[in-house]
A = this chain, B = another copy of it.
């Protein structure tokens, strides 16, 4: 058997640990000489495959690849580009095969979320549909935590830790200021469809350290009167209140709360966040002084405070993908299987891509407290293990020593292709 080369690409929004998956995958592949040849990474995701813009990961040293484990973002570039169906865009699939053939690629590893799983599934069917033999393995990644079957998604645990830590720290701050100044702190977090990330704000409060945190979930239509009553009662009881609001929160009219028809002085529409909208509601209804923050990319890029559990799982997913490939699997995705919560034990499982693609895992209803503003004990039991442990990067001159790879291009063999 002649060793086939492997293609690896990062897809969609990047995370603090997607490069840990890359490290796991490349290091495992390097152990499989004779079975896997070169690992070529797509520059900017699948676009790199379509345009034959491949990176020879072999040109980067073992220590550089190892440093990916502690480096956030997508080291090879990511992209937001969804392949259409074979019927709709046969040209792109034929181009993929052309590139794969030219570079002797027999393994396709795709590191992404739900949309990417769908792309990976389509590539896995190229043997059947277009006669090109390839094994396609999906490597799970998404801060949204919305892939099915797997207990959690690499990337989520670190965002959850970032949001829990930030909510805790800002709550301590506002508590100090509340006597004469700020009484309400609002933190906007990611999550268009599901409240997984917002839920993590609830972890700031615990039995031995009660903190009034009001969570606004995208699953629960915003009820202004109920919200104001909740904030008011917290401020009366504790002197202050923290609010964690998901960017995807909608009003009872089904429109995003952030979409308030806001205009600048010239009447131009302004794209704002939801945090200032919520803060303004607090001011108007209760007359309280507030502060607000929008975490945005900081939350998903915050490798400096990544969850050790998350880093280990991300690495394990990359490694398992290679093992699955060597074992002859196609159209599968490694998963995280929870064996127990107390103590937290997990192992690597396997899911069929056909059961993963285009399925969105929502928060279970029993994870949100009855009043709609908090998390239940069941949710806490699920979340706490995912933020366990710290995995600090090395530092140089006071800053994390994140790696930048050389990303040496593989010589092109084909003509140009326009996407």
Residues of chain B with a CB closer than 8 A to A346's CB: none
The answer to whether B291 touches A296, judged by C-beta atoms less than 8 angstroms apart, is yes
Q: Is A79 an interface residue (CB 8 A)?
A: yes
Query: What is the interface size of chain A, counting residues whose CB is below 8 A from a CB of the partner?
Result: 85
Chain A positions 383-418 with a Cβ under 8 Å from a chain B Cβ? 384, 387-390, 392, 395, 397-400, 402, 404
Encode A273-300 as 1/0 by CB contact (under 8 A) with B. 1011001100110000001111111101
* Docked complex Cα distance between A14 and B187 (Å): 18
The answer to whether A168 touches B402, judged by C-beta atoms less than 8 angstroms apart, is yes
Rounded to whole Å, the gap between the CB of A392 and the closest CB of chain B is: 7
Q: Is A10 an interface residue (CB 8 A)?
A: yes
The answer to whether B169 touches A72, judged by C-beta atoms less than 8 angstroms apart, is yes
The answer to whether A260 touches B264, judged by C-beta atoms less than 8 angstroms apart, is yes
> Which listed residue (B81, B203, B260, B400) contacts A399, Cβ 8 A?
B203
Q: Is A199 an interface residue (CB 8 A)?
A: no
> Which listed residue (B263, B295, B400) contacts A165, Cβ 8 A?
B400
Q: Is A77 an interface residue (CB 8 A)?
A: yes
Residues of chain B with a CB closer than 8 A to A13's CB: 177
Q: Is A33 an interface residue (CB 8 A)?
A: no
The answer to whether B398 touches A172, judged by C-beta atoms less than 8 angstroms apart, is no
Residues of chain B with a CB closer than 8 A to A73's CB: 169, 172-173, 175-176
Q: Is A181 an interface residue (CB 8 A)?
A: yes
Residues of chain B with a CB closer than 8 A to A304's CB: 165, 169, 305
Residues of chain B with a CB closer than 8 A to A400's CB: 165, 168-169
**Chain B CB within 10 Å, residue with most, of A72, A73, A384:** A73
> Which listed residue (B179, B187, B206, B300) contacts A47, Cβ 8 A?
B179
Encode A371-388 as 1/0 by CB contact (under 8 A) with B. 000000000000010011
Encode A156-192 as 1/0 by CB contact (under 8 A) with B. 0000010011101110111111111100010100000
Residues of chain B with a CB closer than 8 A to A392's CB: 390, 392
Residues of chain B with a CB closer than 8 A to A169's CB: 16, 72-73, 297-298, 301-304, 400, 402
Q: Is A246 an interface residue (CB 8 A)?
A: no
The answer to whether B297 touches A295, judged by C-beta atoms less than 8 angstroms apart, is no
* Docked complex Cα distance between A329 and B119 (Å): 73
Rounded to whole Å, the gap between the CB of A224 and the closest CB of chain B is: 14
Q: Is A80 an interface residue (CB 8 A)?
A: yes
Residues of chain B with a CB closer than 8 A to A161's CB: 398-399
Q: 8 tightest CB-CB pairs across the interface, nearest first?
A: A261-B265, A387-B398, A293-B296, A74-B176, A73-B172, A44-B179, A169-B301, A173-B301
